[in-house]
């Protein structure tokens, strides 16, 4: 497990571009404050970030796993670690996930997150 680190932003950005190009959290974006990751064979294999946290709740974001390393529990490992850090620092942890991302929902439920459905809408031109 690689804890909160600086200097790996380019590596994180490359993993997200390849494996989670629609991620809201990316290195350097305002409010995305730190990243944690897991390395396998020296390569960054899975990542998660703290982003847009509030004083009393830390927000987990930017979760991604390199395709060739999926199915090994790496996302669960990094999310568990980040969640513990957020709870220790802020008292609570939360995240948002799309309803159609069943694999991610299973991971989050295994580590103790419970779903609270919210609705969102947007105006299209």
Give residue-wise pLDDT tens across range 34-67.
Answer: 999 999 999 999 999 999 999 999 999 999 999 9
CB 53: neighbour CB atoms within 10 A? 20
Beta-carbon contacts of 1 under 8 Å, excluding residues fewer than 6 positions away, are 36, 38, 77, 78, 81
CB 76: neighbour CB atoms within 10 A? 18
Of all residues in the chain, what percent carry a pLDDT higher than 70? 94
Beta-carbon contacts of 65 under 8 Å, excluding residues fewer than 6 positions away, are 19, 45, 46, 74, 75
Please report which confidence band the pLDDT of residue 1 belongs to, taking 50, 70 and 90 as the band edges.
low
What is the distance between the alpha carbons of residues 1 and 47, in angstroms, rounded to a whole number? Answer: 10
Q: Which residue has the tokens 């200097």?
A: 7
What is the distance between the alpha carbons of residues 124 and 116, in angstroms, rounded to a whole number? Answer: 26
What is the distance between the alpha carbons of residues 106 and 113, in angstroms, rounded to a whole number? Answer: 10
Q: What is the mean pLDDT of residues 6-26?
A: 92
Query: What CATH class has 2-110?
Result: alpha beta
pLDDT digits (tens, 9 = 90+) for 102-124: 999 999 999 999 998 887 777 88
């Amino acid at each position: 497990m690689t804890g909160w680190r600086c200097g790996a932003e380019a590596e994180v950005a490359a993993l997200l571009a390849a494996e989670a190009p629609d991620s809201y959290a990316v290195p350097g974006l305002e409010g995305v404050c730190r990243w944690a990751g897991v390395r396998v064979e020296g390569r960054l294999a899975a990542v998660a970030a703290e982003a847009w946290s509030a004083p009393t709740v830390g927000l987990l974001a930017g979760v991604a796993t390199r395709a060739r390393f999926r199915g090994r529990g790496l996302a669960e490992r990094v999310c568990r670690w980040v969640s513990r850090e957020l709870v220790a620092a802020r008292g609570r942890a939360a995240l948002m996930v799309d309803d159609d991302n069943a694999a991610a929902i299973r991971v989050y439920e295994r580590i103790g997150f419970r779903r609270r459905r919210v609705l969102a809408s947007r105006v299209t031109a």
